Copies of this chain bind each other. A is one copy, B any other.
Amino acid sequence: MIKTNDFMEIMKGRRSIRNYDPTVKISKEEMTEILEEATTAPSSVNAQPWRFLVIDSPEGKEKLAPLASFNQTQVTSSSAVIAVFADMNNDDYLEEIYSKAVELGYMPQEVKDRQIAALTAHFEKLPAQVNRETILIDGGLVSMQLMLTARAHGYDTNPIGGYDKENIAETFGLDKERYVPVMLLSIGKAADEGYASYRLPIDTIAEWK
Protein backbone atom coordinates (compact mmCIF):
# COMPACT_ATOMS: atom_id res chain seq x y z
CA MET A 1 0.00 0.00 0.00
CA ILE A 2 1.29 3.44 -0.88
CA LYS A 3 1.70 5.57 2.26
CA THR A 4 3.14 8.67 0.63
CA ASN A 5 3.70 9.77 -2.92
CA ASP A 6 5.56 13.02 -2.06
CA PHE A 7 8.77 12.68 -4.11
CA MET A 8 10.84 15.36 -2.36
CA GLU A 9 9.85 14.03 1.08
CA ILE A 10 10.63 10.45 0.00
CA MET A 11 14.03 11.43 -1.40
CA LYS A 12 15.19 14.16 0.99
CA GLY A 13 13.71 12.52 4.09
CA ARG A 14 15.53 9.21 3.49
CA ARG A 15 18.01 8.29 6.21
CA SER A 16 19.77 5.04 6.91
CA ILE A 17 17.64 3.25 9.50
CA ARG A 18 19.28 0.51 11.54
CA ASN A 19 16.52 -0.20 14.11
CA TYR A 20 13.15 -1.51 12.99
CA ASP A 21 9.94 -2.62 14.65
CA PRO A 22 10.53 -6.40 14.70
CA THR A 23 6.78 -7.13 14.77
CA VAL A 24 6.21 -5.65 11.30
CA LYS A 25 6.43 -8.11 8.41
CA ILE A 26 6.18 -7.16 4.74
CA SER A 27 3.96 -9.59 2.83
CA LYS A 28 5.29 -11.35 -0.26
CA GLU A 29 2.62 -9.52 -2.22
CA GLU A 30 3.72 -6.07 -1.07
CA MET A 31 7.43 -6.91 -1.45
CA THR A 32 6.70 -8.03 -5.02
CA GLU A 33 5.05 -4.66 -5.68
CA ILE A 34 8.06 -2.83 -4.20
CA LEU A 35 10.41 -4.85 -6.43
CA GLU A 36 8.22 -4.26 -9.50
CA GLU A 37 8.38 -0.54 -8.89
CA ALA A 38 12.12 -0.53 -8.18
CA THR A 39 12.92 -2.52 -11.32
CA THR A 40 11.47 0.19 -13.56
CA ALA A 41 15.09 1.45 -13.28
CA PRO A 42 17.05 1.56 -16.54
CA SER A 43 19.97 -0.79 -17.19
CA SER A 44 22.63 -1.20 -19.82
CA VAL A 45 20.88 -2.46 -23.02
CA ASN A 46 17.84 -3.15 -20.77
CA ALA A 47 19.45 -6.43 -19.71
CA GLN A 48 18.12 -6.00 -16.13
CA PRO A 49 21.04 -7.82 -14.49
CA TRP A 50 19.67 -7.36 -10.93
CA ARG A 51 18.78 -10.41 -8.87
CA PHE A 52 17.32 -10.31 -5.36
CA LEU A 53 17.27 -12.64 -2.39
CA VAL A 54 14.57 -11.48 -0.01
CA ILE A 55 15.82 -12.89 3.28
CA ASP A 56 12.87 -12.72 5.66
CA SER A 57 12.56 -16.12 7.35
CA PRO A 58 14.21 -16.95 10.70
CA GLU A 59 16.28 -19.62 8.90
CA GLY A 60 17.39 -17.19 6.18
CA LYS A 61 18.35 -14.55 8.72
CA GLU A 62 20.27 -17.10 10.77
CA LYS A 63 22.32 -17.98 7.70
CA LEU A 64 22.87 -14.31 6.94
CA ALA A 65 23.82 -13.15 10.45
CA PRO A 66 27.47 -14.34 10.49
CA LEU A 67 28.04 -12.68 7.09
CA ALA A 68 26.87 -9.28 8.38
CA SER A 69 28.46 -9.27 11.80
CA PHE A 70 28.63 -5.47 12.10
CA ASN A 71 24.96 -5.14 11.26
CA GLN A 72 23.17 -7.51 13.62
CA THR A 73 20.53 -4.94 14.59
CA GLN A 74 19.46 -4.55 10.97
CA VAL A 75 19.41 -8.31 10.40
CA THR A 76 17.40 -9.15 13.51
CA SER A 77 14.95 -6.25 13.70
CA SER A 78 14.17 -5.69 9.98
CA SER A 79 11.24 -7.19 8.11
CA ALA A 80 13.72 -8.47 5.54
CA VAL A 81 17.24 -8.04 4.29
CA ILE A 82 17.37 -7.94 0.52
CA ALA A 83 20.65 -9.24 -0.88
CA VAL A 84 21.12 -7.51 -4.23
CA PHE A 85 23.28 -9.31 -6.78
CA ALA A 86 24.28 -8.59 -10.37
CA ASP A 87 24.17 -11.50 -12.82
CA MET A 88 27.28 -11.94 -15.00
CA ASN A 89 25.11 -14.02 -17.40
CA ASN A 90 22.76 -11.09 -18.01
CA ASP A 91 22.87 -11.70 -21.77
CA ASP A 92 20.97 -14.98 -21.21
CA TYR A 93 17.76 -12.96 -20.79
CA LEU A 94 18.09 -10.64 -23.79
CA GLU A 95 16.10 -12.88 -26.16
CA GLU A 96 13.23 -13.09 -23.65
CA ILE A 97 13.28 -9.36 -22.90
CA TYR A 98 13.37 -8.22 -26.52
CA SER A 99 10.80 -10.83 -27.67
CA LYS A 100 8.36 -9.68 -25.02
CA ALA A 101 8.92 -6.08 -26.10
CA VAL A 102 7.88 -7.07 -29.65
CA GLU A 103 4.88 -9.04 -28.35
CA LEU A 104 3.73 -6.03 -26.30
CA GLY A 105 4.08 -3.68 -29.28
CA TYR A 106 6.97 -1.73 -27.71
CA MET A 107 9.41 -2.62 -30.48
CA PRO A 108 9.04 -3.69 -34.14
CA GLN A 109 10.31 -7.18 -34.95
CA GLU A 110 13.01 -5.87 -37.31
CA VAL A 111 14.42 -3.56 -34.61
CA LYS A 112 14.58 -6.50 -32.22
CA ASP A 113 16.36 -8.69 -34.80
CA ARG A 114 18.90 -5.99 -35.52
CA GLN A 115 19.51 -5.24 -31.85
CA ILE A 116 19.82 -8.89 -30.80
CA ALA A 117 22.37 -9.45 -33.57
CA ALA A 118 24.38 -6.40 -32.49
CA LEU A 119 24.15 -7.31 -28.79
CA THR A 120 25.17 -10.91 -29.37
CA ALA A 121 28.30 -9.67 -31.16
CA HIS A 122 28.86 -7.12 -28.36
CA PHE A 123 28.61 -9.62 -25.50
CA GLU A 124 30.82 -12.13 -27.30
CA LYS A 125 33.79 -9.79 -27.17
CA LEU A 126 32.94 -7.99 -23.92
CA PRO A 127 35.75 -8.36 -21.35
CA ALA A 128 34.42 -9.93 -18.12
CA GLN A 129 35.63 -7.02 -15.97
CA VAL A 130 33.81 -4.46 -18.15
CA ASN A 131 30.63 -6.54 -17.91
CA ARG A 132 31.10 -6.81 -14.14
CA GLU A 133 31.50 -3.06 -13.67
CA THR A 134 28.52 -2.33 -15.93
CA ILE A 135 26.20 -4.61 -13.97
CA LEU A 136 27.44 -3.17 -10.65
CA ILE A 137 26.43 0.31 -11.85
CA ASP A 138 23.04 -1.13 -12.88
CA GLY A 139 22.85 -2.69 -9.41
CA GLY A 140 23.32 0.78 -7.94
CA LEU A 141 20.50 2.20 -10.08
CA VAL A 142 17.96 -0.40 -8.98
CA SER A 143 19.08 -0.28 -5.33
CA MET A 144 18.41 3.45 -5.23
CA GLN A 145 14.88 3.02 -6.56
CA LEU A 146 14.36 0.21 -4.06
CA MET A 147 15.26 2.51 -1.16
CA LEU A 148 12.90 5.19 -2.46
CA THR A 149 9.96 2.95 -3.27
CA ALA A 150 10.31 1.33 0.18
CA ARG A 151 9.68 4.78 1.65
CA ALA A 152 6.61 5.29 -0.55
CA HIS A 153 5.28 2.11 1.10
CA GLY A 154 6.01 3.48 4.59
CA TYR A 155 9.23 1.55 5.18
CA ASP A 156 12.85 2.57 5.57
CA THR A 157 16.11 0.97 4.56
CA ASN A 158 19.81 0.76 5.29
CA PRO A 159 22.23 0.08 2.45
CA ILE A 160 25.03 -2.14 3.75
CA GLY A 161 28.34 -2.56 1.93
CA GLY A 162 30.42 -4.00 4.77
CA TYR A 163 29.48 -7.68 4.73
CA ASP A 164 31.06 -10.93 3.66
CA LYS A 165 30.80 -10.52 -0.11
CA GLU A 166 33.16 -13.46 -0.58
CA ASN A 167 30.69 -15.96 0.88
CA ILE A 168 27.20 -14.52 0.46
CA ALA A 169 26.38 -16.21 -2.86
CA GLU A 170 27.47 -19.72 -1.89
CA THR A 171 25.81 -19.48 1.53
CA PHE A 172 22.50 -19.14 -0.29
CA GLY A 173 23.27 -21.76 -2.94
CA LEU A 174 24.18 -19.36 -5.74
CA ASP A 175 27.16 -19.67 -8.10
CA LYS A 176 29.63 -17.06 -6.83
CA GLU A 177 31.30 -16.65 -10.21
CA ARG A 178 27.97 -15.72 -11.73
CA TYR A 179 26.26 -13.63 -9.01
CA VAL A 180 28.27 -10.56 -7.99
CA PRO A 181 27.21 -9.00 -4.66
CA VAL A 182 26.03 -5.38 -4.92
CA MET A 183 24.79 -4.60 -1.41
CA LEU A 184 22.50 -5.70 1.38
CA LEU A 185 19.42 -3.57 1.96
CA SER A 186 17.62 -3.97 5.26
CA ILE A 187 13.99 -2.92 5.06
CA GLY A 188 11.29 -2.50 7.69
CA LYS A 189 9.24 -0.12 9.78
CA ALA A 190 11.63 2.41 11.33
CA ALA A 191 11.91 2.29 15.13
CA ASP A 192 13.90 5.53 15.33
CA GLU A 193 14.61 8.55 13.17
CA GLY A 194 18.19 7.79 12.20
CA TYR A 195 20.76 10.53 11.77
CA ALA A 196 21.03 13.45 9.38
CA SER A 197 24.22 13.48 7.32
CA TYR A 198 26.25 16.19 5.63
CA ARG A 199 26.66 16.55 1.87
CA LEU A 200 29.53 18.28 0.05
CA PRO A 201 28.57 21.52 -1.72
CA ILE A 202 28.00 21.27 -5.48
CA ASP A 203 30.96 23.66 -6.03
CA THR A 204 33.26 20.95 -4.70
CA ILE A 205 31.94 18.09 -6.82
CA ALA A 206 30.75 19.65 -10.09
CA GLU A 207 32.22 21.75 -12.88
CA TRP A 208 30.50 23.33 -15.83
CA LYS A 209 32.22 22.81 -19.21
Chain A residues in the interface with B (C-beta under 8 A): 2, 4-8, 10-12, 14, 16, 28, 31-32, 35-37, 39-42, 44, 46, 48, 50-57, 59-60, 63, 93, 96-97, 100-101, 104, 106-107, 132-134, 136-145, 147-149, 152, 159, 161, 172, 182-183, 195-200, 202, 204-209
Contact = CB atoms under 8 A, between A and B. Distances in A.
B32 A183 contact: no
Contact of A144 (B2, B35, B41, B200): B41
B44 A8 contact: no
A207 B183 CA distance: 16
A150 to B, nearest CB: 12
* Across the A-B interface, the 7 shortest Cβ-Cβ residue pairs: A140-B140, A144-B144, A60-B209, A52-B206, A7-B7, A137-B140, A100-B198
A131 to B, nearest CB: 11
A37 B63 CA distance: 37
B148 A54 contact: no
21 contacts: A2-B8, A4-B7, A5-B7, A11-B40, A12-B37, A14-B40, A35-B205, A35-B206, A48-B200, A52-B206, A53-B206, A53-B208, A53-B209, A54-B207, A60-B209, A97-B200, A100-B198, A106-B198, A134-B161, A144-B144, A172-B209
Nearest to A60: B209
B208 A54 contact: yes
Nearest to A39: B199
Contact of A32 (B138, B140, B202): B202
Nearest to A138: B140
Given A143-B141, A206-B54, A48 B106 contact: no
A52, A100, A134, A209: residue with the most chain B Cβ atoms closer than 10 Å? A209
A105 to B, nearest CB: 9
